[in-house]
Amino acid sequence: MAQEQENSALREARRVVVKVGSSLVTNDGRGLDEAAIGEWCRQMAVLVHQGREVIMVSSGAIAEGMKRLGWSKRPHEIHELQAAAAVGQMGLAHMYETKLRENGLGSAQVLLTHADLADRERYLNARSTLLTLLKLGVVPVINENDTVVNDEIKFGDNDTLGALVANLVEADALVILTDQKGLFTADPRKDTLAQFVHVAQAGDPALEAMAGGAGSSLGRGGMITKILAAKRAAGSGASTVIAWGREPDALLRLCQGEAIGTLLVAPTQKMQARKQWIADHLQLRGSVTVDAGAVAKLLGDGSSLLPIGMIGVEGDFSRGDVIAIRDPQGLEMARGLANYASTEARLICRKPSSAFEALLGYVAEPEMVHRDNLVLKR
């Protein structure tokens, strides 16, 4: 069974997020590894030509900036880290653009922060941009915007960002390429009895006990951040593979179903995980109350929520926020992602979609909450 899971997890994946760490990208701090980056880009091009969609999340900007500035140790001062990121980002983006172009692909640099993905409106905008790039056959190359954001430099890591991107685009799989073969039951450098973990379930608490601290002076992560990233990616149904980045043709062999590295299987299917995420993990920003007819359609037909069935709006929320849907008695019956802000919702309450443009000046969607973004609570 474990071998079957390994063989199918990436073989069937249509949309894949690949994350590579600083030590790999910069050849342990000696500068951007042109040959290695070229190899990953070649493999990504093959996958794209196979009809898959690939997103690259790449570390290395700060490490490359350190090299260009002649620094041997990672600085502690925030402004120095920001300066290193600004210097290194130039070379990093240019290298990916060059190597992807050599393989017949376009590229796009996308700089994100955790705040971009925590804010639902910016989240939806980032999602739309990435999905459009993928539709155009362009490979997005993503990094944290370390140049302008303090917290991401002090506490952020691109393992977490890779998982957030996997959630953002509802990827089928996350591949974390690192300088380790995968996960062991203990640190093999210290424990001769450590055993390699081929397959496990993402989110299993035992995995966190196996993982150690940060792995290098260049990056900010370690195996523990990869385990936690896999747990986060599983929230939207994406399985994760942790593999050695210098394994020949690692991406191609993984997507052919070969057992390489450690596979951490998502315990839920993609749509189930999305519904669970909406229901359990996002803070409610407000609510709408609906009439008996809307209750019947939501519960009986599995319909979307239309503004014409709304009789009240509470709270201050934005487009993309999670809101509660309450019955006429005020009891929560569902929740979902709002297509309109609270100020707009109040204007279109009890109105048909044909009236939206006159009231708002535009029409976004005919639904207040689409059924794909709605979870029933009863």
Look at residue 271 in the predicted model and tell me its pLDDT: 63
CA distance 124 to 134: 15
Residue 58 backbone phi and psi in degrees, to 5 = -120, 125
Q: Which residues have C-beta within 8 Å of that of residue 240, sequence separation ≥ 6? A: 163, 173, 174, 175, 176, 202, 226, 229, 230, 233, 234, 263, 264, 266
pLDDT of 7 > 90? The answer is: no
Q: Which residues pair with 265 in a beta bridge?
A: 201
Same domain, 337 and 269: no
pLDDT (mean) for 173-178: 96
pLDDT of 213 > 90? The answer is: no
The DSSP bridge pattern shows strands 199-201 and 239-244 to be unpaired
Cβ contact 319:338 at 8 Å: yes
Cβ contact 173:239 at 8 Å: yes
Residue whose structure tokens are 């359990």: 280
pLDDT of 370 > 50? The answer is: yes
3-state secondary structure of 289: strand
Same domain, 228 and 335: no
Same domain, 121 and 177: yes
Same domain, 118 and 262: yes
In the predicted model, what is the mean pLDDT of the chain?
88
pLDDT tens, 239-263? 999 999 999 999 999 999 999 999 9
Question: Would you report the helix, strand and coil content of the chain in percent, each value rounded to 5?
Answer: 45, 20, 35
Look at residue 212 in the predicted model and tell me its pLDDT: 61
CA distance 281 to 288: 19
Look at residue 348 in the predicted model and tell me its pLDDT: 96
Same domain, 44 and 147: yes
Same domain, 218 and 306: no
> In 10 A of CB 198, how many CB atoms?
16
Q: Which of 274, 290, 317 is the last residue of a domain?
A: 274
CA distance 37 to 43: 10
CA distance 237 to 272: 8
Let me know if 135 is exposed, middle or buried by CB neighbors in 10 A (0-12, 13-18, 19+). Answer: exposed
pLDDT tens, 126-161? 888 999 999 999 999 999 887 776 664 444 578 988
pLDDT (mean) for 197-218: 75
Helix ranges (H only) for the chain are: 2-9, 22-25, 34-49, 61-69, 78-102, 114-118, 120-135, 150-155, 158-169, 205-210, 223-234, 250-255, 270-280, 292-296, 342-348, 356-360
Which pLDDT band holds residue 28 (cuts at 50, 70, 90)? Answer: confident
Helix ranges (H only) for 281-375 are: 292-296, 342-348, 356-360
Same domain, 168 and 311: no
Would you say how long the chain is, in residues? 378
* Nearest CA-CA partner of 108 in 54, 162, 147: 54
Which amino acid is residue 118, in one-letter code? A
Tokens encoding 219: 């990056």
Same domain, 307 and 160: no
Q: Which of 249, 274, 299 is the last residue of a domain?
A: 274
Which pLDDT band holds residue 50 (cuts at 50, 70, 90)? Answer: very high
CATH code for position 193: 3.40.1160.10
Which pLDDT band holds residue 287 (cuts at 50, 70, 90)? Answer: very high
CA distance 321 to 339: 8
Tokens encoding 349: 């309450």
Same domain, 43 and 163: yes
Same domain, 41 and 182: yes
What domain range includes position 224?
Answer: 2-274
Domain count along the chain: 2
pLDDT (mean) for 290-310: 95
* DSSP label at residue 104: T
pLDDT of 171 > 90? The answer is: yes
Residue 322 backbone phi and psi in degrees, to 5 = -85, 130
Same domain, 74 and 162: yes
Same domain, 301 and 268: no
Residue 356 backbone phi and psi in degrees, to 5 = -60, -45
CATH code for position 306: 2.30.130.10
Sign of torsion, CA 97 12 163 287?
Answer: positive
The DSSP bridge pattern shows strands 199-201 and 262-265 to be parallel
> In 10 A of CB 190, how many CB atoms?
8
Q: Which of 274, 294, 326 is the last residue of a domain?
A: 274
Which pLDDT band holds residue 217 (cuts at 50, 70, 90)? Answer: very low
Cβ contact 329:367 at 8 Å: no
